[in-house]
Amino acid sequence: MEILKVNDLKKTYTSRLGGAQVQALKGVTFTVEAGEYVAIMGESGSGKTTLLNILAALDQPTGGCVELEGKRLDAVKENELAAFRRENLGFVFQEFNLLDTFTLKDNILLPLVLGGKSVSEMQTRLMQTAGPLGIAEILNKYPYEVSGGQKQRAAAARALITNPKLILADEPTGALDSRSSAELLRVFSQMNRNGQTILMVTHSADAASHAGRVLFIRDGVVFHQLYRGDSTNEELYKKIADTLTMLRTGR
Amino acid sequence: MKKGLYTRIALENVKKNGRLYWPRILAEAGLLGCFYILITLAMDGRLSEALGGAYLPTFMWMGAAVLGLLSLILLLYVNSFLMKRRRSEYGLYNVLGMEKRHIAKVLFAESLIASLASVALGLCFGVLFYKLSSLLICRLLRSEIVAGFYYLNAVTLLIPAAAFLALDLFTYFVNRIAILRMKPVELLSAKKAGEREPKTRWPLLVLGVLSLGAGYGIALTVKSPLQAIFLFFAAVILVIVGTYCVFVTGTTFVLQSLKKRKQYYYHKKHMPAVAGLLFRMKQNAVGLASIAILATGVLVMISTTVSLYSGVQDTMETNYPRQLYLSAYRQEGEEITHIPSGKLEELVREAAAENGVAVREVESERLLTVSYLLRGGRLLTKTEAEGGYDTSELCSVMFITEDTYAELQSKRVTAEDPALSRAPEGLGLDKDEIAFCRVASAAMDLGFMPERLTFHGNTYRVKENLTYFPIGSNMSTVVNVLGIVVADDDVLNDVYLAQKEAYGEFASEFSDRIGVSFADEEAVSAVGEQVSQAIVNKLQAVGTGTLQYDLDTKWESLHNVLEMYGTFLFLGILLGFVCLFSTILIIYYKQISEGYEDRERFQIMEKVGMDAREVRKTIGSQLVLQFFLPLATAAVHTAVAFPILLKLLKILMLTNTSLFIICTLVTLAVFALVYTAVYVLTAKTYYKIVH
């Protein structure tokens, strides 16, 4: 079943001075099946972030449309957007975006609190989510008291706790050391095996090699895509590296 | 590096950070302007000459000292906000290759630009508003307006300029030391330094509660005006300390307990606000406490001075039932010869006639006023009191004879209501009997009606409890005043001799005093000075020896009181204005700095799925709490201070409680209005920064 459908997505920015037009997305089309783990790769300026912002309903496209489980994002009313995001999407950011005034526990619970869930339900869901991520022991700590890897796992728990249809991850390993990165990617694979659909934007070939499918974006269009098929992570990594070389040399 | 570079960078920085610098420059200019006005008022010879007063310069110097101290605190506080915001910028310069001494040069140039701008602007303010201020003073003191009030004097320009430049230099050194000490990485990231969750600091909370309790206790239980003078300052200090401690720890305590209540805390309306406030309070409790205290200062200063000033007429009526009181004697060696009241009356009538005013009525009284301690049914001289005394026991006792009483009483009856005119029944006192009257019990709850009263070793039976005593006293607002009527001159003389023995050179003398009412009060006030002068001249011609006289007139007293209260009011308005101004400034900087800190937080919340309306609501509830807390505290402080303020006002002869209540309420209302307006405006800036 298609969970996400992106159809001929275009985004044109007008620079504030001079009015020069910049086309960030020139017609991106792809779909994501339920339970898929998709990585999107591209250089800086390729349009990855713009794409992600539109998928997250934080930004509006100038052309084309996005459908989440058949519902067009531009049909969601302005004042329902926040709730829509909260209920359907989970976010993992490069900079964690944990609130320094909250404990990890409160950070994880925040989407449920905003959704008006009962305290007992919060408790059950918290245990279900935090346990597998290995952060049950440090829930009462504050973000500045734990490591980057732990912060990112807490952020992942916050994204998971609402049982979202789709998790959008923006360079989740970008601020982590290699060991924490590996750990987080294992967590992501684990989440995916449990049926969670994940869309991850990255420019780390290593991170992308954990995904089931890799999309390459260049100059605002989907330039190429790789399927894992039966390959191992290492084999996929090699294919990604080759593609990147090809992208760079232009042949 | 080129020389002009630092100045250019500095100029650019000040311009770029206008949102931070302008309010500081304006604030300093405002403070300096007020400082200039106070100092110039104190030093402008023409003014004190025109007003003929000695109070004015003294009070203005005192006001300037208070203002100077306030400026120091306020500008340092503002500076700390400013530096917090700027620190990362300096860090960036360092990373980009500027050495610290270069940064110090930039910092110096920035400080110099801001400082010069403030001083120049401040002096302009001062010079411009000086004329307005002196006009206001003249109006308040009901004095002739002195022409040509543009007063420029190098000294009055230099003192404020030098004082504030020194203050700015001090601030610069504080900043310089802070910056030189920091490492570049710290400079860059100082803003983001990890905050720990505040814990309730119990000892501080206990100290705060005790201190606040003690301060309140004093304010509520103080018994006499004299005690109020001694204890007022202590109470103020205690309340200030208490307010700071309770704000710093009490708010944390309350929020922590809210956080522990899970059903309450895990709600979308509460969680972001409570957690936000918990961290906010740690940094801002001091700011909020300062706002509360400044606000209290505004309320107290303005309400007391306004009610004093507007109660002048009232006060004068109570204290001067007649317009002129005169007593005089001649002294040759040990010999004292009282000038008899008949002679005094003659002099006054002559003087009045010469100036074309008519005397309506003259009363004479032979009065002995002695101070005692009232303890049980005994009047003790201070030498008899064992183990010291309490000021609330002090009382001033007026002795007159039955004859004097009868005479004064008959005049009163005829004067006040001729229809009631009848010969008063004699008291018929025996030598061991007295009539007793509580003229004023300023301090003591004189619930008792003594049957007997002992003084100087003799016990007298109280034959009559009088409800009215025919002689007023200008001590009546400060200490207890009792009136005692004794049988005859012999008894009065015994008392005189006994107290003479007890008090020695501090003993009281008889006063043969006349009180004069004039037919037309306004007419006599107009020629008051001439009348007084004529009386004194005539007195010189009577008898031989050294002349001692006491001429107490309503018009002179009014002039003095007006000058004093007018000066108070002016200071109250000016300092109240400065406090209000400071409050506004603190709120502004608080909002701005919080806005920058909160921006990131709210952006995260929006990403996680809080919609803009909810963010606004959360911000709103945090703001409202921070807004009302200091205002409510100020209102409570003022309410609690009310009894002690009333007692203090009594010393200044204001006894009109309802006037004071009205003044306080009006001040509170106006203040709340201004405060709300300021808050709405700064909240807008805050929203702008956050979004």
Let me know if residue B475 belongs to a domain.
yes
Q: Would you say residue B420 has pLDDT above 50?
A: no
Locate all alpha helices (DSSP H) within A134-232, ordered by sequence: 148-160, 178-193, 205-208
Q: What is the ipTM of this complex?
A: 0.77
Spell out a b/e string for B53-77, using b for 16 or more CB atoms within 10 Å of the CB, else e.
bebbbebbeebbeebbebbbebbeb
Residue A10: strand, helix, or coil:
strand
The three-class DSSP label of residue B251 is helix
Is B182 inside a domain boundary?
yes
> Rounded to two decimals, what is the model's pTM?
0.72
CB contact under 8 A, A119 and B606: no
Query: Tokens 């405006």 correspond to what residue?
Result: B681
Residue (of B51, B47, B45, B49) closest to B560 by Cα position: B51
Is B583 a domain residue? no
pLDDT band at residue B191 using 50, 70 and 90 as cut-offs: very low
Q: Report if residue B485 sits inside a domain.
A: yes
Q: What is the mean pLDDT of residues A217-227?
A: 86
DSSP state of B198: P
B199 touches chain A (CB under 8 A): no
pLDDT > 60? residue B444? no
pLDDT of residue B431: 84
- Map residue B436 onto helix, strand or coil: strand
Residue with tokens 């300023």: B442
For residue B99, give its domain range. Answer: 1-193
Last residue of a domain, one of B178, B193, B208: B193
CA–CA distance, B533 with B519 (Å, rounded to integer): 20
DSSP for B521-567, written as a single string: HHHHHHTHHHHHHHHHHHHHTSSSSEEEEEEEEHHHHHHHHHHHHHH
The reported pLDDT for the residue numbered B449 is 63
pLDDT tens by residue, B527-546: 888 888 888 888 888 877 88
Number of domains within chain B: 2
Look at residue B307 and tell me if it is in a domain. no
B384: left (phi over 0), alpha (psi -120 to 50) or beta: alpha
SS3 at position B443: coil
Residue B360 lies in a domain: yes
Together in a domain, B186 and B331:
no
Indicate the DSSP class of residue A36.
-
Backbone angles phi, psi at B101, to 5 degrees: -70, -30
Lowest-confidence region among B71-80, B368-377, B405-414, B427-436: B405-414
Give the mean model confidence (pLDDT) for residues A15-39.
84
Model pLDDT for residues B37-64, shown as the tens digit of each residue: 999 888 887 777 766 666 788 888 888 9
For range A63-87, the mean pLDDT: 85
Percent of chain B, pLDDT > 90? 10
Res. B622: pLDDT tops 60: yes
Q: Collect all residues of chain B within an 8 Å Cβ-Cβ radius of residue A59.
A: none
Note whether residue B631 is domain-resident: no
Q: What is the mean pLDDT of residues B62-89?
A: 85
Decide: residue B407, CB within 10 A, 0-12 exposed, 13-18 middle, 19+ buried.
middle
Which residue on chain A is closest to B599 by alpha carbon?
A99
| Shared domain check, B185 and B328 | no
Domain termination residue (choose one: B494, B525, B552):
B552
Greatest CA separation found in chain A? 58
- Residue B612, chain A, CB below 8 Å: the answer is yes
Report the range of poorest mean pLDDT among A168-177, B182-191, B609-618: B182-191
Q: Nearest CB to B266: which of A86, A93, A119?
A: A119
Write out residues 267-286 of B within 8 Å (CB-CB) of A.
267-268, 271, 275-276, 278-279
Identify residues of A whose CB sits under 8 angstroms from chain B CBs.
58, 79, 81-83, 85-86, 91, 93, 97-102, 106, 109-111, 113-116, 119, 122, 142, 144, 158
Instruction: Please report whether residue B400 resides in a domain.
Output: yes
Q: Provide mean pLDDT across the span A26-44.
A: 89
Quote the tokens at residue A141: 């700590």
pLDDT band at B422 (very low <50, low <70, confident <90, very high): very low
Looking at B510, B532, B552, the residue that finishes a domain is B552
